[in-house]
């Protein structure tokens, strides 16, 4: 510990920065989380188990995790594409296009939800095109996924973009002169470099999607067992002044998310190591 600290401590002010980190972590993360735990003190193991295994709660977890994963995966592909276009090509209005990527961050999620519902509902611009085919976009899991894709896309673009920018075009040229096809160059040279940021982007978009409430409630239709997301069930329990039940749902949600994040992070470390 001593050696590694002094090695990294080449920069002055380690004490202060570490102090700030502890302050930040405790004020912004640990204290609210321990409040959550305190709230659950009214919760016995049986009650926790009852809530956690309730079919409606399980169904809502399934909806939340599946739609968030689907949205995260689609965002990873589309985000890579967007970042690629933004880094590798020059076109008029590029600055504007680039700035627009961040809009989902700035827009209040409720506004996003209402406008997405307006477009994708059966009498909306896009929804009305799919309605004759018997596909319902809004008020279905597809709608939830669409909302989460919208919310999550900037995460992927903004994590991939800087890495792509630093990527040396000469390496690709070298691969090409050595006779590699474009696809092979992409797969063997570009992708390994991009995999860590892509994983980070996916993890961010995915975890944001699990907790997202504001935009989803408008587009999901909130049908129990079908399109009800876990955060809505938490709200519904709070509405019954059932703080312990709400905390139980939240705790489990948090726990699963945390385990998934740990898995993704360790995967990322492994990828980074093999890339080197």
Q: Check residue 248 and report its DSSP letter.
A: H
Which is nearer to another protein, 100 or 223 (by Cβ)?
223
* Whether the Cβ atoms of residue 39 and residue 243 lie closer than 8 Å to each other: yes
Q: Which residues bind another protein (CB under 8 A)?
A: 1-2, 5-6, 9, 14-23, 25-27, 54-56, 114, 117-118, 121-124, 138-139, 217-218, 221-225, 232, 235-242, 245
Q: How far is CA 104 from the centre of its chain?
A: 13
The span from the CA of 211 to the CA of 213, in Å, is: 6
Q: Check residue 276 and report its DSSP letter.
A: -
Which is nearer to another protein, 191 or 235 (by Cβ)?
235
Q: Least distance to another protein from the beta carbon of 247, Å?
A: 14
Which is nearer to another protein, 175 or 249 (by Cβ)?
249
Q: Least distance to another protein from the beta carbon of 74, Å?
A: 24
Which is nearer to another protein, 151 or 232 (by Cβ)?
232
Q: Least distance to another protein from the beta carbon of 153, Å?
A: 25
Which is nearer to another protein, 2 or 177 (by Cβ)?
2
Runs of H (alpha helix) within 121-241 = 127-130, 141-166, 169-177, 182-185, 191-211, 216-220, 230-239
Write down how long the chain is: 276
The tokens describing 66, both together, are 């599946």
Which is nearer to another protein, 172 or 242 (by Cβ)?
242
Which is nearer to another protein, 121 or 145 (by Cβ)?
121
The span from the CA of 94 to the CA of 83, in Å, is: 12
The span from the CA of 253 to the CA of 237, in Å, is: 15
Answer positive or negative: Cα dihedral of 229, 235, 240, 245. Answer: positive
The span from the CA of 195 to the CA of 75, in Å, is: 14
Q: Least distance to another protein from the beta carbon of 253, Å?
A: 17
Q: Least distance to another protein from the beta carbon of 243, Å?
A: 9
* Whether the Cβ atoms of residue 193 and residue 202 lie closer than 8 Å to each other: no
Q: Least distance to another protein from the beta carbon of 221, Å?
A: 4
Q: Least distance to another protein from the beta carbon of 222, Å?
A: 4
């Amino acid at each position: 510990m001593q050696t590694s600290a002094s090695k990294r401590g080449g920069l002055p002010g380690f004490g202060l920065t570490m102090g700030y980190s502890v302050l930040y972590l405790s004020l912004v993360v640990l204290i609210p989380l321990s409040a959550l735990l305190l709230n659950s003190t009214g919760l016995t193991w049986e009650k926790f188990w009852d809530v956690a295994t309730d079919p409606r709660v399980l169904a809502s977890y399934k909806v939340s995790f599946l739609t968030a994963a689907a949205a995260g995966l689609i965002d990873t592909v589309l985000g890579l594409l967007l970042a690629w276009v933004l880094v590798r090509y020059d076109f008029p209005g590029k600055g504007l296009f680039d700035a627009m990527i961040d809009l989902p961050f700035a827009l209040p999620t409720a506004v996003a939800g209402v406008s997405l519902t307006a477009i994708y509902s059966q009498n909306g611009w896009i929804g009305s095109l799919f309605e004759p085919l018997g596909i319902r976009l809004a008020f279905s899991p597809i709608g939830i996924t669409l909302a989460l894709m919208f919310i999550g896309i900037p995460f992927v673009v903004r994590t991939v973009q800087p890495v792509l920018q630093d990527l040396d075009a000469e390496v690709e040229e070298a691969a090409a002169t050595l006779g590699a096809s474009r696809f092979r160059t992409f797969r063997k040279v570009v992708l390994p470099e991009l995999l860590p940021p892509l994983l980070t982007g996916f993890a961010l978009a995915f975890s944001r999607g699990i907790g997202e409430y504001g935009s989803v409630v408008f587009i999901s239709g909130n049908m129990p067992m079908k399109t009800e997301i876990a955060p809505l069930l938490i709200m519904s329990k709070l509405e019954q002044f059932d703080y312990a039940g709400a905390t139980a749902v939240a705790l489990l949600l948090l726990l699963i998310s945390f385990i998934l994040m740990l898995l993704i992070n360790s995967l990322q470390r492994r990828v980074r190591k093999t890339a080197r």
